[in-house]
């Protein structure tokens, strides 16, 4: 499900089944060297989280993407977001990022780190299969948390 | 030769009626077109989408078939890829929707290793038999939906979703 009025109504009615929040974390970088990479990896993250949503619609809520810059306090960012989602009643919160800076927080928070793949040069079919491969890597992470 | 010569008055009448008629038509045509527009509009959703699945390659084992169509959501146009689980039941082709009837996750054939001949939903362990019937005591409350199917030049076409016709 997505973070919109209609889906959230369903979430509130079936809280016992929908227990996982997924937060895409695309990095905002405006510098000449970083801007293209920043946009491309944000596209990748959003396509991937949308695909996760399609597969696990009945158990996850994908929040709007959280843009951050290198200068922001990343620990605080994760903490604040995780806190609110816990208040909302989510048992598990996963952050999805392609920035290595976040993988160091993996002890405290569930950060799924994936190397960004440039999707812009691919056609629809190719994208599907690439995202499918990525998803297969993520599923064990989910089932491990869900099973515990 | 002809006695009824057109008088100046008649000539002006004719031309004015003619020109006026054109102008009225020019105004009315778009109005009429707008009025009947809903009737002429193409029906969405009822169209069949061609897939790359050859009918001859289908077997009794369900396979996942992708199909892509364009979806317009307000001003945002996107190509949506959906899929169906397709198999042959005798000569009949069955295409089941992969959307779990519990809360809408995507189900997989043989997704649970313990039940290789059932559809499995990874979200809350919902299970369905091959014809889409939900297994009792698992979360789903109804059978999987079906797609209408058609054949074109040996390839499968997938149409709109209908309630399961095989489970009574």
pLDDT tens digits in sequence order for chain B, 168 residues long = 556 778 899 999 999 999 999 999 999 999 988 888 777 665 544 578 888 899 999 999 999 998 888 888 778 887 788 889 999 988 889 999 999 999 989 999 988 888 899 999 988 889 999 999 999 988 998 999 999 998 888 999 999 889 998 887
Q: Distance (Å, rounded) from C-alpha A22 to C-alpha A17?
A: 15
pLDDT given at position A145: 87
pLDDT given at position B3: 67
The residue among A129, A134, A110, A116 whose CA lies nearest residue A39 is: A116
Q: Distance (Å, rounded) from C-alpha A42 to C-alpha A26?
A: 5
pLDDT given at position B133: 92
Is A144 part of the contact surface with chain B (CB cutoff 8 Å)? Answer: no
pLDDT given at position B42: 58
| Whole-prediction pTM | 0.77
The residue among A144, A26, A41, A23 whose CA lies nearest residue A90 is: A23
pLDDT given at position B47: 79
Beta-carbon separation of B106 and A143 below 8 A: no
Contacts of B102 in chain A (CB under 8 A): 17, 58
Chain center to CA of A94: 6
pLDDT given at position B45: 45
Distance from first CA to last CA of chain B, Å, rounded?
87
Beta-strand pair B126-128/B119-121: antiparallel
User: Which strands, in side-by-side order, build the sheet including A110-113?
Assistant: A60-62, A20-25, A92-97, A110-113
Beta-strand pair A20-25/A92-97: parallel
Range B49-162 has CATH code 3.40.50.12280:
no
Query: Largest alpha-carbon pair distance within chain A?
Result: 47
pLDDT given at position B132: 92
Q: Which of A51-55, A57-61, B44-48 has the lowest mean pLDDT?
A: B44-48
Model ipTM over 0.95:
no
Contacts of B106 in chain A (CB under 8 A): 54-57
When CB atoms are compared, the residue of B68, B79, B124 closest to A17 is B124
Q: Distance (Å, rounded) from C-alpha B165 to C-alpha B168?
A: 7
User: In chain B, where are the structural domains located?
Assistant: 1-41, 49-162
Note the CATH number of domain A5-138: 3.40.50
| Vertex A69: Cα angle to A64 and A74 (nearest 5) | 80
The alpha helices in chain B, defined as continuous H runs, are: 8-40
pLDDT given at position B41: 66
């Amino acid at each position: 499900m997505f973070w919109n009025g209609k889906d959230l109504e369903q979430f509130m009615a079936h809280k016992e089944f929908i227990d996982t929040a997924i937060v895409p974390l695309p990095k905002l970088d405006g510098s000449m060297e970083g801007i293209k990479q920043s946009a491309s990896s944000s596209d990748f993250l959003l396509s991937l989280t949308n695909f996760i949503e399609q597969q696990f619609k009945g158990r996850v809520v994908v929040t709007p993407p959280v843009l951050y810059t290198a200068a922001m306090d990343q620990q605080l960012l994760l903490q604040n977001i995780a806190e609110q989602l816990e208040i909302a009643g989510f048992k598990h919160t996963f952050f999805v990022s392609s920035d290595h800076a976040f993988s160091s927080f993996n002890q405290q928070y569930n950060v799924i780190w994936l190397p960004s793949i440039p999707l812009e040069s691919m056609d629809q079919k190719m994208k599907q299969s690439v995202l499918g491969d990525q998803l297969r890597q993520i599923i064990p992470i989910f089932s491990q948390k869900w099973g515990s | 030769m002809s006695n009824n010569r057109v008088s100046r008055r008649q000539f002006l009448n004719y031309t004015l009626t003619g020109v006026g008629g054109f102008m009225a038509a020019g105004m009315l045509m778009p109005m009429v077109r707008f009025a009947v527009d809903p009737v002429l509009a193409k029906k969405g959703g009822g169209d069949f989408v061609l897939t790359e699945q050859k009918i001859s390659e289908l077997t009794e084992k369900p396979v996942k078939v992708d199909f892509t169509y364009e979806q317009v959501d307000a001003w945002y146009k996107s190509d949506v890829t959906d899929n169906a689980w397709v198999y042959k039941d005798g000569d009949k082709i069955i295409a089941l929707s992969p959307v779990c009837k519990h809360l809408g996750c995507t189900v997989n054939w043989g997704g649970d290793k313990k039940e290789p001949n059932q559809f499995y939903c990874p979200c809350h362990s919902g299970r369905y038999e091959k014809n889409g019937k939900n297994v009792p005591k698992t979360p789903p409350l109804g059978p999987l939906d079906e797609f209408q199917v058609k054949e074109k030049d040996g390839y499968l076409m997938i149409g709109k979703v209908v309630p399961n016709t095989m489970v009574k």
